[in-house]
């Protein structure tokens, strides 16, 4: 793709809360790098999440799904907010995101956590624990507890009853574990497969498949870590982790924990990938309704997600690197939004990045 003129088509789903503010910043970064490197990106913006419920009665319309499937990549802000949180509501913003992930077949969610040295003081952990933190969580994204059947909420024998199911087929485990092994090969060659095999059948299958897959990757050191131990180790010895691969819900929980290691959730990007097809890129932070509309959200998680989009969906490694360097440079110069103890607005922080592109 990089040697041919090609207008990459990117669907934007700014979503709710601070989603539109940070997505706009990411688009500015993409525009800047496109100008600098002579690329062309075509953006198509659509509603997804609570805003789509308000407009269409559904968090994602079929047309929006089709547009995403036909794109080269999808860039998402965030979804959700208190006005759509009623537990009795028939539709929820998050349902749109889950439907999109499933439709795109993006079974692997990559969440890299790298600590910028100048942010040591922003982290809740002591600096000596943070030295060398550079980990990548690969979260299974289209199966497990989020999608397993049965999934119901009903009245049984006069009692309210609800059930979710953690279920996996071997191939669902294999494809995500295999990708994690391949990513580990390009890094420090360590893979921690996180499960709850002392209790859960689905985890015992997960562990078997991880062991089988390991035969194809003799250069990578595989260890199995129980999820409770992994949660503890993330705060006691985070630098010992290289790549972590885990079930959907475990990954959801562990990545929020891992995110605060580097000072703020607002910094963390993610890439969701499948077998070919468009990737889905979104910051790990949520819609943050408490600060929405104030222009103070940290745009770096979204901008770094745009960098991942350049790398994985458009195969524009140099452009991805330029964006990451610009973010790193802005942080090194002391630019900080409020979540990092600074005073910069979203706009000013974005400008600090754009100046370096
Ligand atoms: C995330 C979010 C989502 C998830 C929500 C918004 C459905 O928490 O991407 O981590 O649970 O996957
Ligand atoms: Mg989450």
Say yes or no: CB of residue 252 within 6 Å of ligand 1: yes
d(CA 30, CA 56): 29
Assess whether the region 1-107+275-357 and the region 124-261 belong to the same CATH fold.
yes
- Kindly provide the b/e burial profile for residues 324-340, where b requires at least 16 CB atoms within 10 angstroms of the residue's own CB: bebbbebbeeebbbbbb
Hey, what are 121's tokens?
Answer: 């003081």
pTM: predicted TM-score of the whole model, two decimal places: 0.96
Residue 5: what pLDDT?
53
Which residue is catalytic, options 85, 216, 228, 290?
A: 228
Say yes or no: CB of residue 94 within 6 Å of ligand 1: yes
Which residue is catalytic, options 31, 54, 134, 256?
A: 256
Residue 62: what pLDDT?
98
**Known catalytic residue at 190:** no
Task: Give the residue among 80, 73, 112, 137 at the shortest CA–CA distance from 306.
Answer: 73
Domain ranges of the chain: 1-107+275-357, 124-261
The residues of the chain scoring below 50 in pLDDT are: 1-4
Say yes or no: CB of residue 45 within 6 Å of ligand 1: no
d(CA 136, CA 262): 13
CATH superfamily membership of 124-261: Isopropylmalate Dehydrogenase (3.40.718.10)
Residue 2: what pLDDT?
46
Residue 122: what pLDDT?
87
- Atom of ligand 1 minimally distant from the CA of 94: 7
Distance from the Cα of residue 136 to its chain's centroid: 11
Give the CA dihedral 213, 202, 189, 73, nearest 10 degrees. Answer: 90
**Known catalytic residue at 168:** no
Q: How many CB atoms lie within 10 A of CB 54?
A: 14
Residues with CB under 5 A from ligand 2 (ion): 252
Q: What are residue 131's phi and psi, to 5 degrees? A: -50, 125
Which residue is catalytic, options 146, 168, 281, 312?
A: 146
CA of 16, nearest ligand number: 1
Of all protein residues, whose CA lies closest to atom 6 belonging to ligand 1?
Answer: 94
Which residue is catalytic, options 72, 168, 195, 196?
A: 196
**Known catalytic residue at 252:** yes
Of all protein residues, whose CA lies closest to atom 5 belonging to ligand 1?
Answer: 94
Find the 339 Cα to ligand 2 centroid distance in Å: 18
Q: How many CB atoms lie within 10 A of CB 311?
A: 20
Residue 6: what pLDDT?
73
Give kind and range of the element (H or E) at residue 75.
strand 73-78
Of all protein residues, whose CA lies closest to atom 11 belonging to ligand 1?
Answer: 252
d(CA 259, CA 268): 6
CA of 146, nearest ligand number: 1
Alpha helices in the chain (DSSP H): 19-37, 50-56, 62-70, 93-104, 127-130, 170-185, 201-214, 227-236, 248-261, 300-308, 317-332, 346-354
Hey, what are 130's tokens?
Answer: 């943070």
- Atom of ligand 1 minimally distant from the CA of 255: 10
Residue 117: what pLDDT?
87
| Helix axes 62-70 and 93-104, enclosed angle (nearest 10) | 40
Residue 4: what pLDDT?
46
CATH of 1-107+275-357, one of 1.20.120.10, 3.40.309.10, 3.40.718.10, 3.90.700.10: 3.40.718.10
């Amino acid at each position: 793709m990089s040697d041919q003129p090609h207008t990459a088509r990117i669907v934007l789903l700014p979503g709710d809360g601070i989603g539109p503010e940070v997505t706009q910043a990411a688009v500015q970064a993409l525009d800047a790098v496109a100008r600098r490197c002579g690329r062309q990106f075509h953006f198509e913006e659509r509603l997804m999440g609570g805003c789509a419920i308000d407009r269409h009665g559904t968090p994602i319309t079929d047309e929006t799904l089709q547009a995403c499937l036909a794109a080269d990549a999808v860039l998402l802000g965030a979804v959700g907010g208190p006005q759509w949180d009623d537990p009795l509501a028939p539709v929820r913003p998050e349902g749109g995101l889950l439907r999109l992930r499933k439709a795109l077949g993006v079974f692997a969610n990559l969440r890299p956590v790298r600590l910028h040295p100048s942010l040591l003081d922003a982290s809740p952990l002591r600096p000596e624990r943070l030295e060398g933190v550079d980990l990548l969580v690969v979260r299974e994204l289209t199966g497990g507890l989020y999608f397993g059947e049965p999934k119901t909420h009903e009245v049984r024998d006069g009692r309210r009853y609800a059930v979710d199911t953690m279920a996996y087929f071997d191939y669902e485990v294999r494809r995500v574990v295999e990708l994690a092994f391949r990513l580990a090969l390009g890094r420090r060659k360590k893979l921690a497969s996180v499960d709850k095999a002392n209790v859960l059948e689905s985890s015992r299958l997960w562990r078997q498949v991880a062991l089988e897959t390991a035969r194809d990757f003799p250069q990578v050191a595989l260890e199995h870590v129980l999820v409770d131990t992994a949660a503890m180790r993330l705060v006691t010895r985070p630098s010992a982790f290289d790549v972590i691969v885990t079930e959907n819900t475990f990954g959801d929980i562990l990545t929020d924990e891992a995110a605060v290691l580097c000072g703020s959730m607002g910094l963390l990007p993610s890439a969701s990938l499948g077998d070919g097809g468009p990737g889905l890129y979104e910051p790990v932070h949520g819609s943050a309704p408490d600060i929405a509309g104030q222009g103070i959200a940290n745009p770096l998680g979204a901008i770094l997600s745009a960098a991942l989009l350049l790398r994985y969906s458009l195969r524009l490694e140099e452009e991805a690197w330029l964006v990451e360097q610009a973010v790193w440079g802005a942080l090194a110069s002391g630019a900080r939004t409020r979540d990092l103890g600074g005073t910069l607005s979203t706009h000013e922080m974005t400008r600090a990045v754009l100046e370096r592109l």
